[in-house]
Structure 1
Amino acid sequence: MIRWIQQPLMWVRAYTTSIAYLPSLLATLYITLGLLSVLPAGLLDPSSLPGSDLLKALTFKEHDTPRTLLAALVGGLISLMVFSFTMVMSVLTQAGAQFSHKLLLGLVTERHHQLVLGHYLGSLLFLLINLMVPNEGDAPTLWRSLAVYLGVLMMVNCLGMFIYFIHQASQSVQINAVARRLAGRTRASLSRLRERNRGNGYSDREVTRNDDHCQLLRARRRGYVQQVDFAALRALAIEHDMVVHLDFALGAFIVSGMPLMRIEWPNGLPQDLPQGSSAGDELDEAQQAELIKKLRAALGYLDGESVDDLHEHGLTQLMEVAIKALSPGINDPGTARLCLHQLTELLSERMLLPSCNCCVDDQKRVRVSWAMESFDSLLYRSISPILHYGRNDLSICLALLELLKTLSLLGAEPGHIALLQQHADKVVDAILAQADFEIDQRFIEQSLKAGHHQLSLPSTPW
């Protein structure tokens, strides 16, 4: 039952996060207006309404006039749409070449882009409906005449949306906007993780596992597992008096047949759950199958990296944008430094984040456990590639050293300071390797002394 409920929810989420979400809603609204505008004639009599003289003047006298106007509006709107989305492809090509192809989906699915597309499509459908449905009588009615004027207003609105679209498209590919948007999504993901870890039932402790009492559940599909319903797994573990050990790291790519999770029972059975073994003396085959379905349904598969679900992907993408900017073909160290500034704030939040690697019941017994990437690993993956590609650029090395200095002021544990010191030693070695002249040595010495920090840096390295 859970699987049948979860699948429609996944479809709804895919629809609401796709580029077709807002355009389809707006198009439906415009189609409704178009159908109302071609209602049978006689709904409005100009002589019975206030300002009848003005309304009579607005009513078209010939059939060909509104049709010609509508045809001109349709042709102009199609040309406007072609030009707009040619510009979209140009913007996406530029963004993919300069930053990272992982960012393209986020640029396409932005709400303001969807709004523009929805107004374009809706206005075109409204005009086509009025153009295709013939007028009745010798001359257009007031109702149909007002519909044509409404179509003109829609075209004016599309012109305004076109100007708005040009502004937003040009702003969306600037590195400041790209880095700010990516950092904002990562920060929101960190905030959700922080709130989750503060809730009851989550803990950080050393988890032991007796493999002799574990049964293996293997994956049946491929994809990136980035969403796990820990509350559902915890409830199942409590209900059946078992412990669920996830065999993968969140965000890892899972292939079919790969070990997915291990179910630890008090009296452990050696067979694997998918092969139809007993999951306990109290469970029959139907109950076993239902339990397996519920365990699998708690995992959410995606086809790509989702920053909204895992903050690690946001840090990785910022790192990739930085090293892409340091490539010889682009050679833009300013973009790399901007990414390092965003990484400084995000890593500081991650360093202070209380970690959780298990769910516990009311008696504080572990019910669900998983592997969580340590801050040590995340810091290394975030800054080591940047140092590798930018070690010959003094500005990049100094920016990395500034990042480590800032983190040292926020480090709440002695282990953090020791870790940051090891990275600082690598960065300092890269900096000293560039001190070929006296002026370089003087500048580097001043930079090493600058700022407040808790690192041990050489004050006079010469």
Structure 2
Amino acid sequence: MTAARLRQFWADLSASFWLRPAVMTVVAVLLAEVLVRSEGAINLPSWIEGWVYAGGAAGARDVLGAIASATIGVAGTTFSITVAALSLASNQMGPRLLRNFTRDAGNQYALGALVATFAYALVALRSVHEAEEEAFVPQLAVSVGLLLAFCCVGVLIWFIHHVALSINVDRVVALVHADLASALAALPRRGEAARPAHEPAVPDMSSAPLVAPEGGYLRVLDDAALADWAEEQDAELRLRVRPGDFVFPASTIGEVTPAGAQEQAQKALRRGMSLGDSRSVEQDLEFAVRQLVEIGLRALSPGINDPFTAIAVLDRLGATLCELAGRTLPDGRTLRDGRLRLERPATDYGGLVDAMFHMLRQAATAQPAVMIRLLEVLAEAAALESDPAHQGALRRHAALARDAALGGTEDAAACEAIAQRHALVLAAPAAGGAEEATRRR
């Protein structure tokens, strides 16, 4: 398994709802077994001995049985609350955001604490003997079980508070933006990865097509491993797909030069690609952007009509553009020793901005407040952007937003505010001034 696919596997495993509860349950079972076996072998301080359970076997059975039955019942309640929260999030913010709830460590730890306490109580309960000649009461294990039960009460109170916060739309928007910000933070600064001026081509220009090994969304593409293979074979790979694209089974997704390396290239491609049923944010910046846009679009739908949520989405999109200023997006080319070994499509700045604002602008045409905020966001991003091409993309969207907003409202005050915000975008500093502003950040 390549490094990129291993990273994707770990991300999927961490996002699974069962991992942390399963680990906590195993730890609780081992803890109960250790405490039972060490009964009488541990000398506790005198101030702790007063808190240790000192009842008989019948009392120990009642206590552990009550803990087990209560925690498993509460665990079922927490699971029901989680399902209700997921349903609410799916209806109001989109089904693609469910992954953010299932991978929430707080939900997993809360469920894990209850299930682990249940398993602990069962293991400790099986060690209690009532026979007079072999009576055994694991007093230390029962005491720890009581402590875990009180901790579960606190966990339940915290969990209710946490669920109430997690379905807050502002918090959901912030969490999605955090994923996007972490992906942007991994991008190099402009000038850190300069391309060589000369890229000699592979001498043998004959090529052969490469077909998809299976169908699904391309979640991970291990560029480094594919480029290393191409260097070893003195070949060149040109792909037509990028992470986030849907790959159709047996479709042509690229070509390899020379043609004689086709069979080995197919094997390398199978190892270097990870396909799945859904998109992933690991290598797909547009996916996180579209998650934010989906929240905004649902907020602007006639059934919800919540422009404030759409404005919150625009704020986060603007923050993303500001974080992107001064950074370089991958161009899809991977070189080895100055020679191009892998070339594939990549998300460029214009495409990312299109994904951010096209659909929101179209949905918010009749919402002057949202359109005004969109123009303000574009003005802030243009003020920090040092690339003339990037500034051009922002000004193009500003012109589209201005025209759409003026056509969607007849309110004189709104039209004046729209014109003023559009002027702010046009007044953004030139490339040199924007570069100085970026350095000051």
| Structure 1 counterpart of 2:335, from 360, 375, 396 | 360
- When residues 140 and 380 of structure 1 are mapped into structure 2, their CA distance, relative to the original with a 3 A threshold, is farther
- Matching residue within 213, 223, 226 for 1:230: 223
Shift of 1:54: 5.6
1:216 is aligned to 209
Q: Which residue of 1 aligns with 2:323?
A: 349
| Contact 1:55/1:142, CA 8 A, preserved across alignment | no
- Evaluate the alpha carbon distance shift between residue 118 and residue 432 of structure 1 in structure 2; reply closer, same or farther with a 3 A threshold: same
Could you tell me which amino acid in structure 2 is paired with residue 442 of structure 1? A
Partner amino acid, structure 1, of 2:156: F
Is the CA contact 2:402–2:418 (under 8 Å) kept in the aligned structure 1?
Answer: no
* Aligned-CA RMSD value: 3.4
The verdict on how the C-alpha distance between 1:207 and 1:407 changes in structure 2, with shifts beyond 3 A counting, is farther
Structure 1 counterpart of 2:350, which letter? D
Partner of 2:14: 16
How far apart are 1:239 and its partner, in Å? 1.2
Query: Which structure has the bigger radius of gyration?
Result: 1
Spell out the pairing of 1:226-305 with structure 2 (5 A cutoff).
Answer: 226-265=219-258, 269=259, 278-279=260-261, 292-305=266-279
Note the C-alpha offset of 1:231: 1.5
The answer to whether structure 1 residue 91 and structure 2 residue 82 are counterparts is no
CA contact (8 A) 1:6 1:297 kept: no
| Number of aligned positions between the proteins | 427
Partner of 1:100: 94
Per-residue CA distance 1:393-425 (angstroms, 9 max, x = gap): 111111111122222223323333333333222
Match of 2:168 among 167, 174, 177: 174
Separation in structure 2 between the aligned mates of residue 357 and residue 156 of structure 1, nearest angstrom = 54
Deviation at 1:58, TM superposition (A): 4.1
**Equivalent residues in 2 for 1:90-129 (5 A)?**
90-129=84-123
Task: Tell me if 1:34 matches 2:35.
Answer: no
Question: Take 2:82 and 2:134, find their aligned partners in 1: how far apart are those partners?
Answer: 39
Give 3-state SS (helix, strand or coil) of 1:249's partner: coil
Q: Give the match's secondary structure for 1:245.
A: strand
Q: Does the 8 Å CA contact 1:28/1:122 hold for their aligned counterparts?
A: yes
Q: What is the Cα deviation at residue 378 of structure 1?
A: 2.2
One-letter code of the match for 2:226?
L
Q: Partners of 2:206 and 2:226 in 1: how far apart? A: 19
Once residues 6 and 332 of structure 2 are traced to their aligned partners in structure 1, the CA distance between those partners, rounded to angstroms, is: 30
Moved more, 26-35 or 425-434: 425-434
Q: Specify the alignment match of 2:55 in structure 1.
A: 60
Contact 2:216 2:277 in 1 (8 A): yes
Within the candidate set 387, 401, 412, 2:375 is matched to: 401
Kindly indicate whether the alpha-carbon contact (under 8 Å) linking 1:95 and 1:173 is maintained by their aligned counterparts in 2: yes
CA distance in 2, matches of 1:189, 1:205: 30
> Residue type matched to 2:55 in 1?
F
Greater Cα shift, 288-297 or 406-415: 288-297
- Decide which of 394, 402, 405 is 1:428's aligned counterpart: 402
Q: Residues 203 and 87 of structure 1: is their aligned pair in 2 closer, same or farther, counting only changes over 3 Å?
A: farther
Q: Residue 193 of structure 1 aligns to a residue in which SS? A: coil
Q: How far 1:353 moved relative to its partner?
A: 3.0
Question: Out of 62, 74, 93, which is 2:68 matched to?
Answer: 74
> What are the within-5 Å matches in structure 2 for residues 316-331 of structure 1?
316-331=290-305
How far the C-alpha of 1:49 sits from its partner, in A, is 7.3
User: 1:449 corresponds to which letter in structure 2?
Assistant: Q
| Cα separation, partners in 2 of 1:205 and 1:262, compared to 1, 3 Å | farther
1:332 maps to a residue whose letter is D
**114-123 or 142-151, which deviates more:** 142-151
- TM-score by length of structure 2 reads 0.86
Q: Would you say the 8 A contact 1:326–1:389 is kept in 2?
A: yes
- CA separation in 1, counterparts of 2:265 and 2:405? 57
Gapped regions of structure 1 (runs ≥ 5): 270-277, 280-287, 458-462
Query: What are the Cα deviations for residues 210-252 of structure 1, in whole angstroms up to 9, with x where unaligned?
Result: 9962111211112221322222112111111111111213210
Q: Which 5+ residue runs of structure 2 have no aligned equivalent?
A: 429-441
1:417 & 1:342 partners in 2: Cα distance?
19
**Which whole-Å CA distance do the structure 2 matches of 1:15 and 1:126 have between them?**
25
Identity of aligned residues (%): 24
Separation of aligned partners in 2, 1:91 and 1:302: 26
Measure the CA separation in 2 of the matches of 1:9 and 1:418: 36
| Residue 411 of structure 2 is aligned to residue 444 of structure 1 | no
Q: What's the offset of the Cα at 1:456?
A: 7.3
Counterpart amino acid of 1:27?
Answer: T
1:156 matches 2:150 = yes
Q: Which residue of 1 aligns with 2:40?
A: 44
